[in-house]
């Protein structure tokens, strides 16, 4: 009888540990935790028209945000996202000059380019995230709708629209940073899955599919590879009086995502996509060849 009980106990323990091994990632945070998220986007583009003319431009935007845990509930966390800073530089067409802007320099904020940035910096969201599936489940506070992100953006000024400025963009950003990109199953090397989403950007539908594969797991670090496919198609809003205008494009790329399994948080993400976009107008076609790269990092900024 004792032998049977011993075997039963062993089976119970093994089953318990087996169940624990199958557990998916969970967020492990505490009130006052803060992180600094930096996103660097580099964009190289070459305009080509039917007459053979072309121009090349290169810009770089570095955006900073902070995330802070405000409250811990039963399986949930309230998080505050604040837009912290933006640095920008772009080449001036036809010259070797560059336009630069740094929100952390008072002279830049007081200049002509500072007005729109002032409407953004310090704003942000307060949202609730589920600790088990690492997904956004509620938005408690939003930035004021009449912000610089909603206004026309010139290619020669900071790309403020790269800050999350609607619920869908916030949801995708939260998924990447808080580990929601990974399925609910236990992460294992070789696991594959897809994420597909689309967005209407002023009449242009941008559809993206990311195909993920877990490359390897080393200790608490999960290394993920991605293959990216993106299409753009549509007619820009507000162009009806100019005649029929169509925009179409196809882009392909690769990326990587590193997750800390201890906290479920992203530590680094990289991607680069290349492709060509064509704008067809009553006056002809204009092609835009682009290469866009992103580098994102998340670092602990302290605990209150």
| Inter-residue contact 258 to 169 (CB < 8 Å) | no
**Distance separating alpha carbons of residues 244 and 15, to the nearest angstrom:** 65
| Inter-residue contact 223 to 256 (CB < 8 Å) | yes
SS3 label, residue 202: coil
**Distance separating alpha carbons of residues 83 and 81, to the nearest angstrom:** 7
243: exposed, middle or buried (Cβ count in 10 Å: 0-12, 13-18, 19+): exposed
Nearest to 24 by CA among 216, 186, 262: 186
Q: What is the pLDDT of residue 103?
A: 96
Q: What is the pLDDT of residue 56?
A: 75
**Tens-of-pLDDT digits for all 304 residues of the chain?**
444 344 333 333 333 333 333 457 899 999 999 999 999 999 998 876 655 556 677 899 999 999 999 999 999 999 999 999 999 998 776 677 888 999 999 999 998 889 889 999 999 999 999 999 999 999 999 987 655 444 445 667 899 989 998 899 999 999 999 999 999 888 999 999 999 999 888 888 999 999 999 999 999 999 999 999 999 999 888 776 767 889 999 999 999 999 999 999 999 999 999 999 998 888 888 888 999 999 999 999 977 6
**Distance separating alpha carbons of residues 274 and 230, to the nearest angstrom:** 10
Q: What is the pLDDT of residue 39?
A: 97
Q: What is the pLDDT of residue 14?
A: 37
Q: What is the pLDDT of residue 304?
A: 66
Strand partners, 209: 196, 229
Q: What is the pLDDT of residue 171?
A: 94
Residue 145 has what DSSP assignment? Answer: S
Q: What is the pLDDT of residue 19?
A: 35
Q: What is the pLDDT of residue 13?
A: 34
Provide the sign of the torsion angle of the four alpha carbons 214, 216, 222, 224, taken in this order.
Answer: negative
Strand partners, 299: 36
- For the domain bounded by 26-303, which CATH number is listed? 2.30.230
**Domain-by-domain residue ranges, the chain?**
26-303
**Distance separating alpha carbons of residues 230 and 252, to the nearest angstrom:** 6
pTM of structure: 0.84
**Distance separating alpha carbons of residues 101 and 121, to the nearest angstrom:** 14
């Amino acid at each position: 009888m004792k032998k049977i009980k011993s075997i039963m106990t062993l089976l119970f323990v093994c089953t318990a540990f087996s169940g624990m091994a199958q557990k998916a990632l969970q967020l492990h945070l505490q009130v006052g935790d803060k992180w600094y998220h930096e996103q660097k986007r580099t964009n190289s583009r070459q305009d080509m028209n039917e007459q053979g003319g072309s121009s090349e431009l290169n810009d770089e935007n570095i955006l900073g945000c902070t995330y802070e845990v405000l409250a811990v509930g039963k399986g949930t966390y309230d998080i505050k996202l604040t837009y912290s800073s933006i640095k920008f530089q772009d080449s001036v067409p036809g010259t070797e000059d560059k336009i630069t802007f740094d929100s952390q320099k008072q002279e830049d904020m007081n200049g002509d380019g500072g007005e729109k940035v002032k409407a953004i910096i310090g704003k942000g969201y307060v949202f609730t995230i589920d600790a088990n599936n690492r997904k956004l489940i509620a938005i408690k506070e939003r930035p004021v709708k009449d912000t610089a992100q909603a206004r026309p953006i010139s290619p020669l000024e900071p790309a403020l629209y790269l800050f999350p400025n609607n619920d869908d963009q916030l949801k995708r950003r939260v998924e990447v940073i808080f580990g929601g990109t990974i399925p609910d199953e236990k992460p294992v090397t070789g696991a594959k899955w897809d994420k597909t989403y689309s967005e209407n950007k002023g009449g242009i539908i941008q559809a993206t599919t990311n195909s993920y594969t877990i490359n390897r797991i080393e200790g608490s670090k999960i290394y993920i590879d991605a293959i990216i496919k993106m299409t753009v198609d549509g007619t820009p809003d507000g162009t009806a009086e100019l005649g029929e205008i169509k925009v179409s494009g196809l882009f392909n790329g690769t990326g990587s995502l590193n997750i800390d399994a201890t906290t479920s948080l992203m530590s680094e993400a990289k991607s680069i996509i290349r492709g060509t976009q064509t704008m067809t107008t009553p006056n002809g076609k204009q092609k835009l060849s682009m290469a866009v790269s992103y580098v994102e990092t998340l670092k602990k900024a302290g605990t209150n």
